[in-house]
Amino acid sequence: MSTAPSARSGGPSSGSGFLRDCLVCPDHASPLEPPSGHDPASGMPWPDGEIRCSEGCVFPVEQGIPRFVERDNYAAAFGLQWRRFRRTQLDSHTGVPLSQRRLERCLGMTLDELRGKKVLEVGSGAGRFTELLVAHCDSVVSADLSDAVDANLENCMDISPYLLVQADLRKPPFRANTFDVVICLGVIQHTPDPEQTIATLAAELRPGGRLVIDHYAYRADRFGALLAFFSVHTPLRWIAKRLSPVAGLRLTSAYHRISDPIRRRTCRYKQLDRLVARIFATSCYYETIPELPPEICREWNELDTHDSLTDWYQHKRKPEQIHATLERLGFVNIWCEKGHRGGNGIEAHAELGRGS
Ligand SMILES: C[S@@+](CC[C@H](N)C(=O)[O-])C[C@H]1O[C@@H](n2cnc3c(N)ncnc32)[C@H](O)[C@@H]1O
Ligand SMILES: [Zn+2]
């Protein structure tokens, strides 16, 4: 178990040469020239400047990170969220290996087994999984659409060299058919078209490579789903996701401030709490994740309340649908299950068929 990633062990010579070669222009798939004098194998941050493709495209490097997207996009609220709650869910902060357990379960292998593999993590947020990946492999590439990359950089750059970019997974700036493992956790349900997203992730894998994903699931109990719909959460979400990221965060934090002390008392009594949660519909983990220290749990509740009220897309799927999508894309040895504690709903891993 490794809840606290070790300090930076690498340097220009120990970083992977792979970090030098995997970036390509998202428009032309041609190699990209990093800012002069910088060796990507030395890790992050990059010197600010420009990267150029041989066809003439230019992309900025700002605050140490190559940026391939406009800063204002549908994931902007996530960017603010992860900068505000930069360390909340990191195992190195909580002292409890919740992220490691979830990651290893989804991977279907231990983190040690990732050593030597080329790993792509997409939608990396503040880096609850990145910090573990970077501590265990020397060829980690991480990407997120939002400014969450700024939080990720601060959290992970001192652990070991890796490559971090701000990019859209629907137009990835990486060489196709390249990675041994592609990890995308907590993300696909928040993209416009989950099936298209899974197909794009698959295109980054080499034949035989492993895809590791999860997805929100439909609730099994229909009465529960109906109750959840007729709750303050529904109209509040309608409003909060349409506000600016700053106003959205203010609203959800104020709501959490009122609700959390009430839910902290009622959550011990399941039936009562079910009713109270119609009005005080904030996330509440005091009973469900008792390992978390109460102050960190309070922060985690506030973070997840914001997440569930401001994410623009919130798709749901059945395990059979995820399984069918993977099969259609040529995956084999598919593991796809619903309902693991501490997970997002459906979790899956599968290998890309050698003929795909
Ligand atoms: C709920 S967060 C999960 C972050 C991290 N994987 C975790 O579990 O803590 C979803 C992340 O996906 C990112 N995201 C959403 N759409 C994306 C896209 N098209 N390309 C890349 N990242 C995306 C968001 O910016 C956000 O940081
Ligand atoms: Zn180009």
**pLDDT single digits (tens) 41-67:** 999 999 999 999 999 999 999 999 999
Please check whether residue 181 lies inside any domain of the structure: yes
- How does residue 17 score in pLDDT terms, banded at 50, 70 and 90? confident
Q: Which domain holds residue 235?
A: 222-310
Using a 6 Å cutoff on CB, does residue 87 contact ligand 1?
A: no
pLDDT tens sequence across 172-224: 999 999 999 999 999 999 999 999 999 999 999 999 999 999 999 987 677 77
- How does residue 20 score in pLDDT terms, banded at 50, 70 and 90? confident
The ligand that comes nearest to the alpha carbon of residue 173 is 2
- How does residue 227 score in pLDDT terms, banded at 50, 70 and 90? confident
Using a 6 Å cutoff on CB, does residue 26 contact ligand 1?
A: no
pLDDT tens sequence across 231-268: 899 999 999 999 999 999 999 999 999 999 999 999 99
Beta strands in the chain (DSSP E): 32-33, 49-53, 58-62, 65-66, 119-122, 140-144, 163-166, 179-184, 205-215, 331-338, 346-352
Using the predicted structure, report yes or no on whether residue 6 has a pLDDT greater than 80.
no
Using a 6 Å cutoff on CB, does residue 78 contact ligand 1?
A: yes
Residues 335 and 287 in one domain: no
Residues 26 and 161 in one domain: yes
Please check whether residue 121 lies inside any domain of the structure: yes
Taking the CA of residue 168 as reference, the ligand 1 atom at the shortest distance is 20
Ligand 2 center from residue 23 Cα (angstroms): 11
Residues 144 and 44 in one domain: yes
The ligand that comes nearest to the alpha carbon of residue 169 is 1
Which of 81, 141, 144, 155 best tests ligand 1's pocket when mutated (most atoms within 8 Å of CB)?
144
Residues 40 and 161 in one domain: yes
Residues 55 and 154 in one domain: yes
Rg (CA), the chain: 20
Residues 48 and 134 in one domain: yes
Using a 6 Å cutoff on CB, does residue 183 contact ligand 1?
A: no
Residues 182 and 146 in one domain: yes
* Dist CA 163 CA 216 (whole Å): 28
Residues 163 and 232 in one domain: no
Task: Spell out the residues 6+ positions from residue 286 whose beta carbon is closer than 8 angstroms to its own.
Answer: 263, 264, 267, 294, 297, 301
Residues 258 and 330 in one domain: no
Ligand 1 center from residue 269 Cα (angstroms): 34
Ligand 1 center from residue 189 Cα (angstroms): 10
Please check whether residue 12 lies inside any domain of the structure: no
Taking the CA of residue 89 as reference, the ligand 1 atom at the shortest distance is 9
Is the Cβ–Cβ distance between 42 and 69 less than 8 Å? no
Please check whether residue 83 lies inside any domain of the structure: no
pLDDT tens sequence across 294-311: 999 999 999 999 999 999
CATH number for the domain harbouring residue 123? 3.40.50.150
- How does residue 355 score in pLDDT terms, banded at 50, 70 and 90? confident
Count CB atoms within 10 A of the CB of residue 335. 14
Please check whether residue 7 lies inside any domain of the structure: no
Is the Cβ–Cβ distance between 128 and 150 less than 8 Å? no
Residues 238 and 144 in one domain: no
Please check whether residue 80 lies inside any domain of the structure: no
DSSP 241: T
Residues 142 and 262 in one domain: no
Using a 6 Å cutoff on CB, does residue 125 contact ligand 1?
A: yes
Residue of the nearest CA to atom 6 in ligand 1? 124
Specify the pTM.
0.93
In the chain, the number of structural domains is 2
Using a 6 Å cutoff on CB, does residue 145 contact ligand 1?
A: yes
Using a 6 Å cutoff on CB, does residue 98 contact ligand 1?
A: no
The ligand that comes nearest to the alpha carbon of residue 143 is 1
Residues 110 and 248 in one domain: no
Please check whether residue 3 lies inside any domain of the structure: no
The ligand that comes nearest to the alpha carbon of residue 216 is 1
CA atoms 329, 168, 84, 91: torsion sign:
positive
Please check whether residue 8 lies inside any domain of the structure: no
Ligand 2 center from residue 29 Cα (angstroms): 7
